[in-house]
Structure 1
Amino acid sequence: MPVFEKTHGSEVLLRGVDRRVTVGDRVDVTDEYADYLSNRADFELLDVHDAEFREIEEDDGDADDEGGFDAAEFIDRTPVDDVVDDIEAGEADEHLDAVAEAGDRVSVEDAVGQRRAELEE
């Protein structure tokens, strides 16, 4: 199985492996999900022969209740293209209402609308 490492950016939920990962975390993924991560700028495919494995904590599902997601902080990042890319990649799917309420950038609002439409399909 391909192994990817989160190289930069904020914490993300990877639905394909059902885990939240931060910079430095490594995940084993299927070949199909590897194609998705290969297209992201914040992950790097590792040579499994050189990879040193370390466990990452399982998501207990309570991160949002503990303030794990700050919509204003999420959308105030620059450049705005990174925010739009993250929305389109599904990294804020569980928080689209909060992102839409906190956002005043047309491109962010458009990305939220587009992502909602994709999820409804």
Structure 2
Amino acid sequence: MVNYKRLTLQQRYLIQTLNHQHKNQQDIAQQVGVSQSTIWRELAKHNQQHSKQTYEAQQAQQQSATAKKRLPYKLQCSLLTTVLTRLIDRLSPEQICGELQRMAIQKVLHHETIYRYL
């Protein structure tokens, strides 16, 4: 199993150089030492073709460094009360999450969050 590692600034500069040379993604991936899908995602996420700019390593590094991470949901207050009530009603965590989503109380609550709480 391969561990996920973020691209370094040096790898991004290599991607930038090879991309400017119009190398295909497979060649870029081989030279950078990552999978082709990593290159595809990196270029898709940071390529600014709509503004006629091409991939810029420094800008991609800054965007990646400041990317907001989703904070884990904590079961507190009314959400916790709702979850506990539905558990008492003998609903499974999967059913509770589906019900919360349908009721638009909580858009994204994973059943594993409930299991971890228990």
TM-score by length of 1: 0.23
Q: TM-score when scaled to structure 2?
A: 0.23
More strand by share: 1
